[in-house]
């Protein structure tokens, strides 16, 4: 019985390492964004809008791991801060397009370059080939898990 438990633990070692690395990265990111006035979910939503320039609410939901009800709340907060605007789609008025305001773009440009530099200090511990290998392996695991849903 004990041998079975030991073998199971060995088989799941990669998962445990992945979860610990994820936890450490989340803590690092929370510390890194502490002075931005955003919590982690707001930051993630703001970042995706910054990179994609204009998205529908559904597209944001697909890219960020946030519940629909929370996403509405986050978008309201970002809009109230003056960082985003929501506009009706010209072809389909049921669809809302979300984009940054000038104030939001200024805020994004003031925080993201430094944030990315800070993240690079962690990922640059791996050379380019190791980073590519990590990316490929994580995709394999992610796609396999997704296929089993």
* pLDDT single digits (tens) 3-36: 666 566 777 899 999 999 999 999 999 999 999 9
Please determine, looking at this structure, whether the domain spanning 33-147 carries the CATH number 1.10.10.10.
yes
Q: What pLDDT digit, counting tens, does each position of 52-108 carry?
A: 989 999 999 999 988 888 999 999 999 999 999 999 988 998 899 999 999 999 999
Cα gap 97→37, rounded to integer Å: 24
Cα gap 4→1, rounded to integer Å: 5
Q: pTM value?
A: 0.84
The strand pairing partners of 83, in sequence order, are none
Residues 6 or more apart whose CB falls under 8 angstroms from that of 32 comprise: 115, 118, 119
Asked whether 64 and 72 are in contact (CB, 8 A), the reply is: no
* β-pair type (54-56, 96-100): antiparallel
């Amino acid at each position: 019985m004990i041998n079975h438990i030991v073998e199971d633990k060995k088989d799941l070692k990669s998962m445990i390492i992945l979860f610990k690395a994820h936890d450490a990265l989340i803590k690092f990111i929370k510390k890194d964004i502490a002075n931005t006035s955003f919590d982690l979910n707001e930051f993630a939503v703001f970042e995706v809008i910054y990179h994609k320039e204009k998205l529908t609410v559904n597209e944001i939901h697909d890219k960020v791991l946030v519940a629909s009800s929370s996403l509405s709340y986050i978008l309201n907060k970002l809009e109230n801060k003056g960082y985003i605007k929501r506009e009706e789609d010209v072809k389909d008025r049921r669809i809302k397009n979300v984009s940054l305001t000038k104030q939001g773009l200024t805020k994004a440009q003031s925080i993201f370059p430094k944030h990315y530099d800070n993240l690079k200090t962690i990922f640059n511990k791996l050379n380019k080939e190791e980073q590519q290998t990590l990316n490929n392996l994580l995709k394999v695991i992610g796609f396999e898990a997704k296929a089993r849903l």
